[in-house]
Amino acid sequence: MSWTFVLVLAGTAYAFKFLGLVVVGGRTLPAAVDRCLALIPSALIAAITVANTFGNGQALQIDARAAGVAVSVVAAWRRLPLIVVIVLGAAATALVRAVS
């Protein structure tokens, strides 16, 4: 990937953000659109996590990472501190890799 391509992508992303400010301006969005926009970050994080956990190129792969994510999800659901969630997920992944 060239620096020119990276700079073009950065400029395009900035232009889209600027265009959104110009088009929407100070107007309020409909309530349904506002609710949907609020859910986008969570959906993107979930999609990235699933793709990186279970994807291996074009194939589906279930390995130690799945155990780590499962332990992390349970720890987060139990509202443990973030550092504990991360350490538990890493430990579960390491334990499964060591056993198998």
Q: Are residues 48 and 3 in the same domain?
A: yes
Q: Are residues 53 and 82 in the same domain?
A: no
E strand or H helix that includes residue 13: helix 3-24
Q: Are residues 40 and 53 in the same domain?
A: yes
Domain count, the chain: 2
Domain that holds residue 95: 62-100
Task: Name the token pair of 52.
Answer: 């990186």
Q: Are residues 43 and 67 in the same domain?
A: no
pLDDT one digit per residue (tens) for the chain, 100 residues: 799 999 999 999 999 999 988 887 778 888 998 899 899 999 999 999 889 888 888 888 888 999 999 999 999 999 999 999 999 999 999 999 999 8
* Distance of alpha carbon 28 from alpha carbon 83, whole angstroms: 38
pTM: 0.61
* Distance of alpha carbon 87 from alpha carbon 76, whole angstroms: 12
- N-terminal to C-terminal alpha carbon distance within the chain: 37
